[in-house]
Amino acid sequence: MLPPFSQSAQGMRSSEIRRIMKLAGDPSLISFAGGSPGTSLLPVDIVDELYGALSTRAKRTALQYGATDGYPPLIAEIGRYLGSKGINTDGQGLIVTTGAQQAINLVAKVFADPGDAVVTEYPSFIGALAAFKSYGAETVGVPMDGNGIIIPDLLKTLDKLGKRAKLLYVTPYFHNPAGIIYGERRKRELLDALSGRDIILLEDDPYGELYFDAADKPLTATMKSMSNHDVNICYTGSFAKIFGPGMRLGWLCATPEIIDKCQLAKQSMDACSPTFTQVLAAEFLSKDKMPGYLEGLRVAYRRRAGIMTNSLKELMPEGVGWTPPRGGFYIWVTLPPYMDASEVFQKAFEGGTAFVIGSAFDPAGEKNDCLRLAFSNTPVEDIERGMEVVCGAVKACVRK
Ligand SMILES: Cc1ncc(COP(=O)(O)O)c(C=O)c1O
């Protein structure tokens, strides 16, 4: 006999992420589904070089348990890196996490009680929505425009919730899935809107380095680096898109009080993040391997995004919109309001392609007139062919 599952397990729904990862991995499909970096672009040679140059002592450290807050040289290197992005870590706490996913999970765990509201953008990252829901929080979406979350809608939502919102979760830099980057003014307006409110701003930034044009780099300046505000910001980043998701490494920078609690929570989750990859990541940063590697990534992703955008322009029927990508991994396509993305998916899937339907990114799980196309991990030679299928599927769903 099986005892009943816990209430939180009973609340878990079949994960869209699992389905996506499975589809993305099916070699017979041209997949625009997973949010994975380009497999052929992963820095195998850099890892070989860094590992080969380690001393036996460092290799032993790499195979041993480590401190819950992270491998000290890596914490120091991440601190230095954040400093180069204008984030002052003095007086802040900083821990290494098992991916940004764990950082989001930790913040959710230490703040969200069952029934609390967590406000997110609409659309929002599926992994974060799943993490908030796993603690019994109610996720409430606020729409975005091309410059970020819409402030009057956010204020209306916060004022009308009828319950306490402890967290606002945003992904301002090359959003997953919306593809947009926040404007300078919108970030200030957001901080002003949250000022004086008892709410944590969870600023998630795994894609900020992946701008296509250096002229956009100033837009990647984080809210965490901005002064003259009183908003409590938890800032998270990741090595997943700038080194390799298999490293399973991210970080969380927040006030020492929050970091202390997160560290306690992390102790019971995984004791420590993988020491093996932390040693490599510390070398990646200290040997200054990242800037050159990122340059190559930006060129490769810009090329993939360009091919996808050209196909959209050429092949999509009237009434379909999308965000022109300026960085990151994604294009968010808006279908005519009567169209159902699941129907489009079915047709595209039969034609040998996959993407993710919009409802997966809706905090309420309902709106389904959008779809997310990831250009990051589709070989250049397959993108046009796959896009012909996707655009053909949309055309086939146009109302006559
Ligand atoms: C917005 C966002 N946050 C967090 C993550 C999770 O990153 P990690 O692989 O470091 O856990 C992802 C991964 O796709 C993401 O898109």
pLDDT at 1: 85
Q: Which atom of ligand 1 is nearest to the CA of 35?
A: 14
Ligand 1 centroid to residue 100 C-alpha, Å: 5
Q: What is the pLDDT confidence band of residue 365, given thresholds at 50, 70 and 90? A: confident
Least Cα distance to 50 among 77, 17, 30, 26 occurs for 77
CATH 3.40.640.10 is the classification of domain 45-286? yes
pLDDT at 227: 86
Delimit the domains of the chain by residue range: 7-43+292-396, 45-286
pLDDT at 298: 98
Mean pLDDT calculated for residue range 364-379: 93
Q: What is the pLDDT confidence band of residue 18, given thresholds at 50, 70 and 90? A: low
pLDDT at 84: 97
Mean pLDDT calculated for residue range 188-217: 97
Q: What is the pLDDT confidence band of residue 141, given thresholds at 50, 70 and 90? A: very high
252-280 pLDDT, tens digit per residue, is 999 999 999 999 999 999 999 999 999 99
Q: What is the pLDDT confidence band of residue 135, given thresholds at 50, 70 and 90? A: very high
Q: What is the pLDDT confidence band of residue 49, given thresholds at 50, 70 and 90? A: very high
The kind and range of the H/E element at 121 are strand 117-122
Least Cα distance to 211 among 241, 255, 245 occurs for 241
Q: Which atom of ligand 1 is nearest to the CA of 239?
A: 10
Q: Which atom of ligand 1 is nearest to the CA of 329?
A: 16
Ligand 1 centroid to residue 338 C-alpha, Å: 31
pLDDT at 176: 98
Q: Token pair for residue 140? A: 């409430």
Q: What is the pLDDT confidence band of residue 173, given thresholds at 50, 70 and 90? A: very high
Ligand 1 centroid to residue 399 C-alpha, Å: 36
Per residue, the 3-state secondary structure of 124-163, as one string, reads CCHHHHHHHHHCCCEEEEEEEECCEECHHHHHHHHHHCCC
* 7-43+292-396 CATH pick, 3.80.10.10, 3.40.50.2300, 3.90.1150.10, 1.10.10.10: 3.90.1150.10
Mean pLDDT calculated for residue range 79-99: 96
**Beta carbons of 145 and 168 less than 8 angstroms apart:** no
* DSSP string over 51-114: HHTS-HHHHHHHHS---TT--HHHHHHHHHHHHHTT---TTSEEEEESHHHHHHHHHHHHHPPT
Ligand 1 centroid to residue 385 C-alpha, Å: 28
Nearest CA to ligand 1 atom 16: 176
Q: Which atom of ligand 1 is nearest to the CA of 249?
A: 10
Q: Which atom of ligand 1 is nearest to the CA of 125?
A: 1
Cα three-residue angle 190-193-194, rounded to 5 degrees: 90
pLDDT at 16: 58
In this prediction the pTM is 0.96
Q: Which atom of ligand 1 is nearest to the CA of 238?
A: 10
Report residues whose beta carbon is within 6 angstroms of any ligand 1 atom. 35, 99-101, 125, 127, 171, 176, 204, 206, 238, 240, 245, 250
Question: Over 60: is that where the pLDDT of 17 sits?
Answer: no
How many angstroms separate the CA atoms of 85 and 97, rounded? 19
Ligand 1 pocket: which of 95, 204, 252, 330 to mutate (most atoms within 8 A of CB): 204
Ligand 1 pocket: which of 16, 126, 174, 176 to mutate (most atoms within 8 A of CB): 176
